[in-house]
Amino acid sequence: MEENPTLTKPTTDDLKQEISLILQGINKDRENLIPILHKITLRFGYISSQALYEVSEQTAIPLSEVFSVATFYRMLPTEERGRHVILFCESLPCHVVGGREVLQALKAELQLEPGQTNPDKKWTLLTTSCLGVCNFGPVISIDGNIHGNLTPESLPEILKKYE
């Protein structure tokens, strides 16, 4: 498989050291690639192209495979996210009880489309197929905190809590 040409080598020794510390005590094999990438996400907030390259170098797993795994799973962001990540539930139960209107209000309030992060890196808006709390729809998760039974009017007060 051909390597992704947009991936670049690390520019500092700091990243190399950080990845090395993350890899300490972990078997550097394919079976541990997701846990390795998850630890990088916890440390840096996302997985940069330089980090992908460094994981490939230090584990001897082909860069194309590391890139493939990192970009397949939504839980492994390869782009920097905002300080607060909002997951909006797009499931049918949430949609039926006013989810579309809540999403429109949320987009207007944040001035973001799903998948975007605002310029000051405060908010990232993402959608998900289900948050598993259908009886409280429409629902959002902000930084893992669930907010349910939403209305367009309830959003400003909820978002204010994250100022």
pLDDT tens, residue by residue, 3-59: 444 544 445 778 899 999 999 988 898 999 999 999 999 888 889 999 999 999 999
Residues 50/91, Cβ–Cβ less than 8 Å: no
Alpha carbons 110 and 151: distance in angstroms, whole number: 15
Beta-carbon-side half-sphere exposure of residue 138 (alpha carbons within 13 Å): 24
The per-residue pLDDT for 6 is 52
Alpha carbons 159 and 105: distance in angstroms, whole number: 12
pLDDT tens, residue by residue, 78-116: 988 899 999 999 999 999 999 999 999 999 999 999 999
User: Who's near 123: CB < 8 A, 6+ residues apart?
Assistant: 82, 83, 84, 85, 86, 110, 112, 117
The per-residue pLDDT for 10 is 47
Q: What are the φ/ψ torsions at residue 125 (nearest 5 degrees)?
A: -110, 120
| pTM, full prediction | 0.73
Query: What topology does CATH give the domain 84-160?
Result: Glutaredoxin (3.40.30)
